[in-house]
């Protein structure tokens, strides 16, 4: 058995997280270190997306959410933004067979109307085509910001109150969970961020209230199946207490 299959088998022996979110960071620095244009880092990063998605599916995740482009990333130099959009289009066209062949449901969250038509069209097409797939849900966070999402949710709830469909007293955690873009996904168990940065950068603010965090020094283009499995193994050593004491948890577990 190869080393990666062995690592993945170890992951499967323990409780596998339902939902993992990844902040795929460090593409630009990966390229700059090699004297390459930043876009080459993004391009190599799409190979990591394919490898990590395959590994996530093999270990049995229900949901994988990838932070691919933030609301704030629109302010990068226009040629980098355009290059990223081109790569996204390429990814959506090239990965179609991989997604359909593996029964993955492609999902997207974010201010999707801000995406150029040449990205929005293949995105909508693949979302529609894969909508009835029952394997893992792969969510791309595109033009996504956690604050933007919460503003959108607050406005949607306010509109329902204004129309009389909802009472202010009915706004509870479940109502807000139902109003955010991830309404059909489980809470995030694990957030992985690559490239050594230790911050959330506006990723899934509501959904990560009780997530575990694993920070890897590896830049995203070098983060592959092995690194993913190692991050999940690390997560599996954590005790998630949700406000309780360790003793309470051990009692509940026996």
From 25, 27, 189, 202, active-site residue: 25
Q: Mark 81-100 with x for binding to ligand IPE (rule: CB under 6 A) and - for no binding.
A: ---x----------------
* Residue 113 designated active-site: no
- Interior CA angle at 26 toward 98 and 119, to 5°? 45
CB of 26 to Mg ion, least distance (A): 6
Q: Which of 8, 25, 44, 189 binds ligand IPE (CB under 6 A)?
A: 25
Distances (CA, A) of 223 to 68, 123, 218: 15, 25, 6
CB nearer ligand IPE, residue 17 or residue 41: 41
Task: Verify binding: residue 25, Mg ion, rule CB under 5 A.
Answer: yes
Task: Please report whether residue 28 would count as binding ligand IPE according to CB under 6 A.
Answer: yes
> Of 49-57, 61-69, 111-119, 145-153, which part binds ligand IPE (CB under 6 A)?
61-69
* CA quadruple 178, 232, 213, 98: dihedral sign: negative
Bridge partners, residue 102, by sequence: none
Query: How far apart are alpha carbons 147 and 149 in whole angstroms?
Result: 5
* C-alpha to C-alpha distance for 170 and 157, rounded to whole angstroms: 10
Where do the H-state alpha helices sit in the chain?
Answer: 3-13, 27-33, 38-59, 78-94, 96-101, 117-129, 146-162, 173-179, 225-235, 246-253
The Cα 168–Cα 83 span in angstroms is 44
Using the rule CB under 6 A, is 137 a contact of ligand IPE? no
Among 59, 68, 123, 185, binds ligand IPE (CB under 6 A): 68
Return the number of the residue (77 or 168) whose C-beta is nearest ligand IPE.
Answer: 77
Interface with ligand IPE (CB under 6 A), residue from 12, 18, 29, 127:
29
Under the binding rule (CB under 6 A), the answer on residue 201 touching ligand IPE is yes
Catalytic residues, by residue number, are: 25, 73
């Amino acid at each position: 058995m190869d080393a990666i299959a062995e690592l993945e088998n170890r992951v499967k022996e323990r409780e596998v997280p339902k939902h993992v979110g990844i902040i795929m960071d460090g593409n630009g620095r990966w390229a700059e270190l090699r004297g390459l244009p930043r876009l080459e880092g993004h391009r190599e990063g799409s190979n990591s997306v394919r490898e990590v998605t395959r590994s996530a599916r093999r270990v049995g995740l229900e949901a994988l959410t990838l932070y691919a482009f933030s609301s704030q990333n629109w302010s990068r130099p226009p040629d980098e933004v355009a290059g990223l959009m081109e790569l996204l289009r390429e990814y959506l066209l090239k990965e179609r067979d991989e997604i359909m062949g593996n029964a993955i449901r492609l999902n997207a969250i974010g201010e999707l109307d801000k995406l150029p038509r040449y990205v929005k069209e293949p995105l909508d097409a693949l979302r529609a085509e894969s909508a009835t797939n029952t394997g893992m849900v792969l969510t791309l966070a595109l033009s996504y910001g956690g604050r933007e999402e919460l503003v959108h949710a607050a406005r949607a709830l306010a509109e329902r109150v204004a129309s009389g469909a909802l009472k202010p007293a009915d706004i509870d955690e479940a109502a807000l969970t139902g109003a955010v873009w991830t309404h059909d996904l489980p809470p995030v168990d694990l957030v992985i961020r690559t490239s050594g940065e230790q911050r959330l950068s506006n990723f899934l603010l509501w959904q990560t209230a009780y997530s575990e965090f694993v920070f890897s020094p590896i830049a995203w283009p070098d983060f592959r199946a092995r690194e993913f499995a190692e991050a999940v193994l690390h997560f599996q050593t954590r005790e998630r207490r949700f406000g309780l004491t360790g003793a309470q948890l051990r009692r509940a577990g026996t």
